[in-house]
Structure 1
Amino acid sequence: MTGSSSSPVAEGTPGDFGPGPRAAAVLVFGSSAAVLVVEIVALRLLAPYLGLTLETSTMVIGIALTAIAVGSWLGGRIADQVDARRLLGPSLGVSGVVVALTPAVLRTTAEWAPPVLLFIASLTILVPGALLSAVTPIVTKMRLTSLAETGTVVGRLSGVGTVGAIAGTVLTGFVLVSRLPVSGILIGLGTLLVLGSALVEWRTRGWSGTPALTLVVVAGGLATVVAPGACDTETKYHCVRVVADPDRGSGRTLVLDGVRHSYVDLDDPTFLEFTYVRAIASVVDAAFPGGEPLAAYHLGGGGLTFPRYLAATRPGTRSLVSEIDSGVVRINRDRLGLGSQAGIDVRTEDGRLGLRRLDSGSRDLVVGDAFGGVSVPWHLTTVEAMKDVRRVLDEDGLYVANVIDHGGMAFARAEAATLSETFEHVALVGEAADIGLDPAAASEGGNLVMVASGRPVDLRAVQDALDARHTGWRIATGDDLASWIGDARPLTDDYAPVDQLLQPYSPRSGQ
């Protein structure tokens, strides 16, 4: 950089030893992009342990913004007090090490010390975020040679940093997550940051300290490979594992983000392991004549257990499934035998959008079994969504939905109130204590099945089917259901605090 005749900057400014305009832009762009990559990937790392909820997203975003604020403030303050050349390399290097170690640290903590997971997760976002955010004021200090160009330099680098953040967000969301495991993304990013640190150190001060940092990154990568909690496949939305049933050779359990979502018997699609699936089958079998083919639509796919059941027990049934995660669809085809099932059409799409594309009165049955973590995606729970379900059902059509809740069951009550706003006939199926039929027993929560239709369903036949399948579940309807719902408020597109209503739980999905 060259000076001017204007007032000089403070003593100690590196002047000609600072990065040129292009190098400065690269440093600011790259560090700002890295902060957003870390933020987005942290959400995916934490989802298996904290759930993919609004609270988790809010926490991660809040910590990232705190890191940006702290790093920008401290970076500028320290750069005014010491030679800025001494700060740039360590900021990149240390942040690179922390980023590369993050998958191993978080997964190990989640397995062995879950009470401190939030604290450790905060540090793995805060430390690299602050160090990377400090790069912009440090580079700005190194680029300034006179007060006359302050506005130009600060404005240009701030703009470059913002563009970098946008690029990091878009690159991660649209490219990296769909092509690489999250551990690979963070190890690769950490390695790039350490290499950047080495290059900066070489250009300004020599290679001091960077070989050691590189070794730490390599060790972090090795640690991540053997860390607990690894996935068979990391898709756009889930950490996926397929677990063989040791007691049933053809049995497979699909595990998404640490939660058992589906059980599939490759040889016998009529075998239903999870209680809630047996309950859905009981409702459908009682509501429609045996063996009659149906036109069914499924919100959420998972392991496609129920579409397979319908195909096997009601030949000629046409099941259309909206599954948002293409990786889960691929797992179904490659490892869960989907190719051998006729009459099942799976579309990779959001369920609400898929529902909107269906013709009115085109379905006998709609099954709701979509989950993000342990909660139903909020936009599939509202009065507006249920009106669309009602629209696509024919006059004798049936809506059956799997819901999970615990504690005071606030979300489940609100969803039952929502269905009551839309359908004339609503019933709730579950453990007697959970649905208010056994007040003396403590409710533990878990899976519930909600049934809604424009016509009455033979509930006695449903109860007989539930008993025949040894579910132990009962049915609440009429006054019992109204009493259980209480003053719960229906959910709407304008008001659907699903994540706040859903109570904490101990993983028991798929009972």
Structure 2
Amino acid sequence: MTGPLSSPAAGDAPRYRGLGSRSAAVLVFGSSAAVLVVEIVALRLLAPYLGLTLETSTMVIGIALTAIALGSWLGGRLADQVDPRRLIGPSLGVSGAVVALTPAVLRSTAEWAPVLLLIVAGLTILVPGALLSAVTPMVTKLRLTSLAETGTVVGRLSGVGTVGAILGTVLTGFVLISRLPVSGILVGLGALLLAGSALVGWRARGWAGTPALTLVVVAGGLATVPAPGGCDAETKYHCARVVADPDRDGGHTLVLDGVRHSYVDVDDPTYLKFTYVRALASVVDTAFPEGEPITAYHLGGGGLTFPRYLAATRPGTRSLVSEIDGGVVRIDRERFGLRPDTGIDVRTEDGRLGLRRLETDSRDLVVGDAFGGVSVPWHLTTVEAMRDVRRVLEEDGLYAANLIDHGDLAFARAEVATLSETFEHVVLVGDPVDIGSDRAAPDGGNLVVLASDRPVDLRETQEALDARQVGWQLATGDDLTSWIGDARPLTDDYAPVDQLLQPYDSRGGR
């Protein structure tokens, strides 16, 4: 059959004319791209409140896919019952209003009604995602006038939508997030969708479609209302804030996605506020002769508290730092006064890739202190990664890593088991409640693990910890083996770091 479709809707073909192939492609391309922009930006917007974990990513992706499926189904059903030209404009307008208001709504909910955050977050992804996904079947209905071209029309618009989704993904990940605040991206996208809604309404019904224009004005005004939870800087990976210490003139805390990542005293780099940093300092000061310069490599930078300490207490020390977030590095330079003459070289790169580029037997010390939220990036926790750490260290070199865990400390036990696969000597440093043989109700928080092919001087290390009033103890040998229990070492093929971690209170800091 090559004539007009015989259904009642298709038989009324003249009322569907007027949507050219170019306009159809623009609508499908733009709406598909917008869905992916919303999905990716939602991950960044939720990170300060839910953490940048595999579970958060899975939830957002699942909701987005649900929205696409629901919108495609409902859009097709409605297009068979109502003139699609009456539906496209409102779909774009309502989705645009929701997108523009999302930053203010989510941040306000997180601040004043956190128990509702998951529901509100789901709706801010589901509603615009479904409405935007409904545009494709509506446009397809308008373009279908003959069964002879069904395959061509459906295939072409499906391909255009896929290309739009790809471009939305690439543009957001490589361009928008690196140049614009997350809230600015969503407000801008919402404004574009609202403008598109007004244009579609005008072409379909003239200026009788003024409700779309009203939505533009209302949503634009509301989207500019300040919302709690703002950032000093929105970097590629974090919502970053620098909080001044009211008790110390030079003291500042670097807060990334709501978690206290670093404390920096710009006037006195030897002042170490966080307990785990004092523990690291105690270990390193014991492992190497006092005041002697060393070569160090740091996986993760943050506020560069420990590299600054080494530079101040061991003149001539060379520290190379791999920090993946260039925005954090800018904060180090602009707010914390990082200078090139301090012996600290910071590279904006992934730590695993940076580790691979280092020469064999080139470092006295490797420090692991890279985090996404409270989770160590999984690819820095595995046996394969630790073998690379061992390769980089000199024969008597030391690896010291900061870990965070709670509950039954499943991740920490797995990571210590992983290090035991690679190094001859492993020592765990932590609160006695957490590293004791009785793990019935550990408090959790920070722990420091040491690994080396040379023995660690346990007595001197404990004395150094006590001198700094750290309040932590050491576990090694049979005690550590008992503490590890049946924990399975992590590998590149099996590293469920996010699943092993237990819930935490992000306000507690690190």
C-alpha distance in 1 between matches for 2:63 and 2:449: 38
Cα deviations by residue, 1:284-314 (Å, 9 ceiling, x for unpaired): 0011100010000000000000000000000
Shift of 1:510: 4.2
Alignment of structure 1 residues 106-505 onto 2, 5 Å: 106-207=106-207, 208=209, 209-223=211-225, 226-339=226-339, 342-436=342-436, 439=438, 442-505=441-504
C-alpha distance in 2 between matches for 1:459 and 1:415: 21
Q: Which moved more, 1:262-271 or 1:206-215?
A: 206-215
C-alpha distance in 2 between matches for 1:277 and 1:386: 21
Report if aligned partners of 2:367, 2:400 keep a CA contact under 8 Å in 1. Answer: yes
Shift of 1:154: 0.7
Report if aligned partners of 2:278, 2:468 keep a CA contact under 8 Å in 1. Answer: yes
Shift of 1:474: 0.7
Shift of 1:211: 2.0
Cα deviations by residue, 1:176-232 (Å, 9 ceiling, x for unpaired): 000000000000000000000000000001232112111222123212xx1000000
C-alpha distance in 2 between matches for 1:172 and 1:369: 28
Cα deviations by residue, 1:230-268 (Å, 9 ceiling, x for unpaired): 000000000000010001010010000010000000000
Shift of 1:165: 0.2
Counterpart residue number, 2:8: 10
Counterpart code for 1:481? L
C-alpha distance in 2 between matches for 1:138 and 1:228: 38
Report if aligned partners of 1:433, 1:441 keep a CA contact under 8 Å in 2. Answer: no
SS of equivalent residue, structure 1 residue 105: helix
C-alpha distance in 1 between matches for 2:413 and 2:194: 52
C-alpha distance in 2 between matches for 1:216 and 1:158: 33
Shift of 1:13: 5.1
Residues 1:34 and 1:440: Cα distance change in structure 2 (over 3 Å): closer
C-alpha distance in 2 between matches for 1:440 and 1:163: 52
Report if aligned partners of 2:3, 2:147 keep a CA contact under 8 Å in 1. Answer: no
Shift of 1:15: 4.1
C-alpha distance in 2 between matches for 1:501 and 1:435: 17
Aligned length: 506
C-alpha distance in 1 between matches for 2:172 and 2:439: 51
SS of equivalent residue, structure 1 residue 434: helix
Residues 1:447 and 1:364: Cα distance change in structure 2 (over 3 Å): same
The yes-or-no answer on 1:63 pairing with 2:66 is no
Counterpart code for 1:309? Y
C-alpha distance in 2 between matches for 1:33 and 1:7: 31
Shift of 1:133: 0.0
Report if aligned partners of 2:408, 2:439 keep a CA contact under 8 Å in 1. Answer: no
C-alpha distance in 2 between matches for 1:76 and 1:245: 57
Cα deviations by residue, 1:63-108 (Å, 9 ceiling, x for unpaired): 0000000000000001101111110000000000000000011111
Cα deviations by residue, 1:331-374 (Å, 9 ceiling, x for unpaired): 10001111275100000000000000000000000000000111
Cα deviations by residue, 1:446-489 (Å, 9 ceiling, x for unpaired): 00000000000111111111111111111111111111100000
C-alpha distance in 2 between matches for 1:408 and 1:34: 42
Q: How many percent of aligned residue pairs carry the same amino acid?
A: 79
Counterpart code for 2:497? V
Cα deviations by residue, 1:118-172 (Å, 9 ceiling, x for unpaired): 1100000000000000000000111111222111111100000000000000000
Cα deviations by residue, 1:381-421 (Å, 9 ceiling, x for unpaired): 00000000000000110000000000010000000000000
Counterpart code for 1:96? G
Q: Which moved more, 1:8-17 or 1:262-271?
A: 8-17
Alignment of structure 1 residues 54-93 onto 2, 5 Å: 54-93=54-93
Counterpart code for 2:214? A
Shift of 1:6: 4.2
C-alpha distance in 1 between matches for 2:14 and 2:507: 60
SS of equivalent residue, structure 2 residue 273: coil
SS of equivalent residue, structure 2 residue 504: coil
RMSD: 1.4
Q: Which moved more, 1:4-13 or 1:36-45?
A: 4-13
SS of equivalent residue, structure 1 residue 503: coil
SS of equivalent residue, structure 2 residue 345: strand
SS of equivalent residue, structure 2 residue 435: coil
C-alpha distance in 2 between matches for 1:475 and 1:440: 15
Report if aligned partners of 2:243, 2:253 keep a CA contact under 8 Å in 1. Answer: yes
C-alpha distance in 2 between matches for 1:336 and 1:251: 10
Residues 1:316 and 1:169: Cα distance change in structure 2 (over 3 Å): same
C-alpha distance in 2 between matches for 1:13 and 1:277: 73
Counterpart code for 1:476? A
C-alpha distance in 1 between matches for 2:13 and 2:452: 74
Unmatched 5+ stretches in structure 2: none
Shift of 1:7: 3.8
C-alpha distance in 2 between matches for 1:473 and 1:160: 60
Report if aligned partners of 1:311, 1:341 keep a CA contact under 8 Å in 2. Answer: no
Counterpart code for 1:151? G
SS of equivalent residue, structure 1 residue 373: coil
Counterpart code for 1:343? G
Report if aligned partners of 1:17, 1:204 keep a CA contact under 8 Å in 2. Answer: no
